[in-house]
Amino acid sequence: MALCSSSSSSSSCEKTWIVHGILAGTAIAAAIGARAYLGRSRKFRSRVVGIIPARYASSRFEGKPLVQILGKPMIQRTWERSKLASTLDHVVVATDDERIADCCRGFGADVIMTSESCRNGTERCNEALEKLEKEYDVVVNIQGDEPLIEPEIIDGVVKALQVAPDAVFSTAVTSLKPEDGLDPNRVKCVVDNRGYAIYFSRGLIPYNKSGGVNLDFPYMLHLGIQSFDSKFLKVYSELQPTPLQLEEDLEQLKVLENGYKMKVIKVDHEAHGVDTPEDVEKIESLMRERNLS
């Protein structure tokens, strides 16, 4: 940079040095701020609770949480698998039914009683969160009908939310089997190039002009597990139901319809949810094959 030598240019010279001083100060402040942010980020959303919402009434499978799977109630198997997740500080069952509560207390689970007015599992999680004595940053909604849920998937959705401060929600998907493409009980998902959810549907998405399943397309199946920023969970419960949510009967759509970001991770997992009584036999056969007791 040229040096100022004449008195006529002293004013512009002073301005130049002032600008450089401001830029230098900004750079230093940015560096300090970045270091401070990185220091905070190590503890960002660090307190995590896993909540398993469970209800007895179900149009497709009444009493599903208590169904026996190789000698244990399904809710117990889900709880035992969840306890293996390294990111969870605590795991509780949230229910409005004393039969489920008594069963869970019998095998050692902590139980939070919630009201019958909860419209879905997410609202039940929020009510349970409010009744817990400790404060948590992240709430993981663990589906009680996934008795073979992998602890690594729970850890994965938690970590995805911890490293995505612009997201309030995280979940997981896996590859969809072609034969499940038109099954409305298998929820499909599409994401953008940065791994954020675009849409969920019980129908086949994306849908091509032929009207059939494209065997060469990598369709994604949504796994029921999902984690929330605890502050957003309270907001979620106050939001009114949205048109797409009601039409698809998928509570996560209310998040997207209100403009919030949802992080999605893809995992290698063969989904084994129990939606109907017929699924129980399938689960038991698989567990025998894998020597799981």
pTM over 0.85: no
pLDDT confidence bin for 277, thresholds 50/70/90:
confident
Return the percentage of the chain with pLDDT > 90, whole number: 66
pLDDT at 133: 86
What the chain holds in terms of domains, given with CATH numbers, is 43-288 (3.90.550.10)
In order of 54, 92, 122, 172, the CA distances from 141 in angstroms are: 11, 10, 7, 12
- Please list the residues that pair with 68 across neighbouring strands: 73
Q: Give 99-112 pLDDT, tens digit per residue.
A: 999 999 999 999 99
Q: What does the pLDDT average to over 212-241?
A: 93
Amino acid symbol at 194: R
Residue 149 · residue 243 · CB < 8 Å: no
